[in-house]
Amino acid sequence: MTKEAINPNNIIETVEQSSNLVKLAGIISRLEDKMGQCFTVTSGLRTPQDQMRINPLAPNSAHLIGMAVDVADPKHIIYDFCVNNVQFLIDNGIWVEDERYTPSWTHLQTRPTIRRFFSP
C-alpha cells in the first residue's frame, strides 16, 4: 500500500501526517504481503470536516493524523486474519477496531489503544 492510497483525496498533509502515513503504509503493506492480497481503502486521512460528517462521535480519530485506515472487508476476512494472528499485530504495531462497529470494513491503526481490539 502506498501513502497516496491512504490519502486518496489529496488532502494537504502536515509533516506529522505525512510521517504517520508513510509508517502506516509500510505496516499495512506488510499485512497485505502476509495475507497475499491487496486491500481497498474505503477511508484514510480525513479533514476535521470529513470526520464530523463521517463520525462526529470521534472528534479525535486517528484518521485525522494519518494513523488509521479503513479497508473494504465485507466478509471480515482481514479482521479474522487479525484475530488469528495477534502476534503479527503486536510485532507490527497494529490495533484493530472491533468488527461489531465496522460492518463492511476493517479499521486498522497505528495509534495505540488499551486493547489490541478496541471499541470506538
Instruction: Report the half-sphere exposure of 33 (CA within 13 A, side-chain side).
Output: 9
Q: Can you give the pLDDT at residue 116?
A: 97
- Three-class DSSP category at 27: helix
- pLDDT averaged over consecutive 10-residue blocks of the chain (120 residues)? 95 97 98 97 96 93 98 97 98 97 96 95
Provide the residue ranges of all domains of the chain, joining segments of one domain with +: 3-118
pTM value?
0.95
**Was domain 3-118 assigned CATH 3.30.1380.10?**
yes
Could you tell me if 2 and 32 are in contact, meaning their C-beta atoms sit under 8 angstroms apart?
A: no
In terms of Cα–Cα distance, which of 101, 79, 100 is closest to 31?
Answer: 79
Q: Can you give the pLDDT at residue 29?
A: 98
| Dihedral over Cα of 77, 79, 80, 82: its sign | positive
Q: What angle do CA 118, 119, 120 make, to 5 degrees?
A: 115
